């Protein structure tokens, strides 16, 4: 087995001086850096075109020392998109396990255009206000297993992505066959598990289960935007427990966040076949908020055995252009989910 860890610091880069930190080309499915136009800073640990990669340690810690980068972002003096703590591009057979990753400058672990990825028993820590410090972001990748991870950070704990607007549509690399299980943690401003908002290459065949989320803005969020195109389909979300979450389950429209102004306004996301079951939440601020991107209709959304204790008892589900069925759901779902009797939203 080949084991490769390419440490950028071995190139003599000085972490004290962001301007000296090398730049690389943007990903084709983003067309530019995620935060700034043009090239982006390379990741602390960066690999490309690798096979058989193991990154592990007996709960050892890699500290990304991200503060200097968060400061540039807060000060609005960041010239190029921040790098990740670990990014693997176009690689296969990856195992990342038994380590603690702290203080990533940006998204912490970013496998993109990868296949056969196992991420197991990871602890990811960042200050709860550190900007965009997502935990694990599988992006245009398939056959991915993320399990037994504890994550606390300033952005989504796990976010599945697949490229941005017209660039993601033309590259057309989906994220599929993904299992996320036994993940726990907290993110006061974002989600436990997010799908999107960059989902232009499509996301399918995803199982999210045995999630425990507390003190967070959302437990599960599906997020898209006008211009994304793509699809999110065949998603199973089950056995989710949560406490002190603002909005337990949210489908949101996105914030008109585009790669550039050449995106196709008629490229709407297609979202269907999402099954959410066995969910328990207490001390929640709101009932679910499910809103389709303007002009799109989401169908085939199934809720079963969902119990959400909302602090303001009169709070109701809020639905817009999202349809499906709900069985054994508290509080009562919106009209859009009161059709009944068919079997597709069944047990199994
Ligand atoms: C950003 O660019 C400006 C203008 O070129 C330069 O003065 C500044 O040092 C750069 N800052 C960083 C962090 O690269
Ligand atoms: C991906 O990596 C393989 C080597 O594993 C290489 O042959 C191929 O050209 C790379 N593809 C891209 C798009 O970089
Ligand atoms: C996770 O990693 C820690 C530290 O390396 C180890 O003690 C523990 O046994 C591991 N757990 C699993 C399930 O692998
Ligand atoms: C691993 O390290 C993290 C942070 O350093 C610590 O919180 C956690 O308890 C450790 N886990 C194990 C199994 O030693
Ligand atoms: C913003 O930049 C100034 C001057 O470069 C620096 O002294 C300050 O610490 C920075 N503040 C933050 C919040 O990053
Ligand atoms: C992770 O830790 C567990 C428990 O110590 C051990 O069984 C497993 O082999 C380790 N995995 C790796 C890849 O080191
Ligand atoms: C849906 O996803 C599941 C699990 O990821 C997979 O086993 C199943 O084959 C998929 N169904 C279709 C119709 O692709
Ligand atoms: C549900 O998930 C929790 C972790 O949040 C786990 O402890 C429990 O065993 C799971 N229940 C089932 C029935 O899988």
pLDDT of residue 330: 96
Measured between alpha carbons, how far apart are the two ends of the chain, in Å? 39
pLDDT digits (tens, 9 = 90+) for 76-132: 999 999 999 999 999 999 999 999 999 999 999 999 999 999 999 999 999 999 999
Q: Is the pLDDT of residue 4 over 50?
A: no
Which residue is closest in CA terms to ligand 5's atom 9?
71
Fold topology of 1-128+135-140: Pectate Lyase C-like (2.160.20)
Give the class (CATH, top level) of 156-348.
mainly beta
pLDDT of residue 12: 44
pLDDT of residue 171: 98
Q: Is the pLDDT of residue 220 over 50?
A: yes
Residue 273 falls in the annotated catalytic set: no
- Cα-flanking dihedrals φ and ψ of residue 29, to 5°? -80, 0
Mean confidence (pLDDT) of the chain: 94
Pairing mode, strands 40-41 and 23-24: antiparallel
pLDDT of residue 16: 67
Query: Domain limits of the chain?
Result: 1-128+135-140, 156-348
pLDDT of residue 7: 42
48/89 Cα distance (integer angstroms):
5
Cβ–ligand 6 contact at 285 (below 6 Å): no
Q: Is the pLDDT of residue 13 over 80?
A: no
Mean pLDDT over 5-24 rounds to 64
Which residue is closest in CA terms to ligand 4's atom 1?
59
pLDDT of residue 281: 98
pLDDT of residue 347: 61
Q: What atom in ligand 1 is closest to the CA of residue 79? A: 1
Burial grade of 338 (CB within 10 A; 0-12, 13-18, 19 or more): exposed
pLDDT digits (tens, 9 = 90+) for 311-334: 988 899 999 999 999 999 999 999
Cβ–ligand 4 contact at 123 (below 6 Å): yes
pLDDT digits (tens, 9 = 90+) for 281-303: 999 999 999 999 999 999 999 99
Q: Is the pLDDT of residue 241 over 80?
A: yes
Mean pLDDT over 195-201 rounds to 98
Same CATH fold assignment for domains 1-128+135-140 and 156-348: yes
Exactly one of 134, 137, 155, 156 is catalytic; name it: 155
Cβ–ligand 6 contact at 56 (below 6 Å): yes
Cβ–ligand 4 contact at 63 (below 6 Å): no
pLDDT of residue 19: 84
Cα–Cα nearest to 139, from 178, 102, 104: 178
pLDDT of residue 346: 72
Q: What atom in ligand 6 is closest to the CA of residue 98? A: 1
Which residue is closest in CA terms to ligand 5's atom 5?
75
Angle ∠(102,105,108) on CA atoms, nearest 5: 55
pLDDT of residue 17: 81
pLDDT digits (tens, 9 = 90+) for 242-262: 999 999 999 999 899 999 999
pLDDT of residue 1: 36
pLDDT of residue 339: 74
């Amino acid at each position: 087995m080949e084991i490769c860890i390419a440490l950028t610091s071995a190139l003599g880069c000085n972490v004290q001086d962001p301007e000296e930190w090398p730049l690389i080309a943007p990903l084709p499915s983003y067309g530019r850096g995620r935060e700034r136009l043009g090239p982006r800073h390379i990741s602390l640990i960066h690999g490309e075109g690798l096979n058989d990669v193991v990154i592990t340690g007996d709960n050892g810690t890699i500290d990304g020392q991200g503060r200097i980068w968060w400061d540039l972002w807060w000060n609005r003096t960041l010239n190029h998109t921040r790098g990740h703590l670990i990014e693997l591009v176009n690689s296969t057979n990856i195992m990342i396990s038994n380590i603690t990753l702290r203080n990533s400058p940006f998204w912490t672990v970013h496998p993109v255009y990868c296949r056969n990825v196992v991420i197991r028993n990871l602890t990811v820590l960042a200050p709860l206000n550190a900007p965009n410090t997502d935990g694990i972001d599988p992006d245009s990748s398939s056959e991915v297993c993320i399990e037994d991870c504890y994550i606390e950070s300033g952005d989504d704990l796990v976010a599945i992505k697949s490229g941005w607007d017209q660039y993601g549509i033309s590259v057309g690399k989906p994220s599929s066959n993904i299992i996320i299980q036994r993940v726990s943690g907290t993110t006061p401003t974002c989600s436990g598990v997010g799908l999107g908002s960059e989902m232009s290459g499509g996301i399918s065949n995803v199982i999210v289960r045995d999630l425990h989320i507390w003190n967070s803005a959302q437990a599960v969020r599906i997020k898209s935007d006008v211009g994304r195109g793509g699809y999110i389909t065949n998603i199973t979300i089950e056995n989710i427990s949560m406490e002190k979450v603002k909005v337990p389950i949210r489908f949101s429209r996105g914030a008109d966040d585009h790669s550039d102004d050449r995106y196709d306004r008629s490229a709407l996301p297609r979202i269907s076949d999402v099954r959410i079951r066995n969910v328990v939440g207490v001390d929640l601020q709101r009932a679910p908020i499910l809103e389709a991107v303007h002009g799109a209709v989401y169908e085939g959304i199934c809720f079963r055995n969902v119990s959400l204790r909302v602090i303001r008892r009169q709070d109701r589900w809020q639905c817009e252009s999202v349809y499906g069925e709900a069985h054994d759901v508290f509080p009562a779902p919106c009209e859009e989910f009161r059709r009944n009797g068919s079997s597709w939203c069944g047990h199994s």
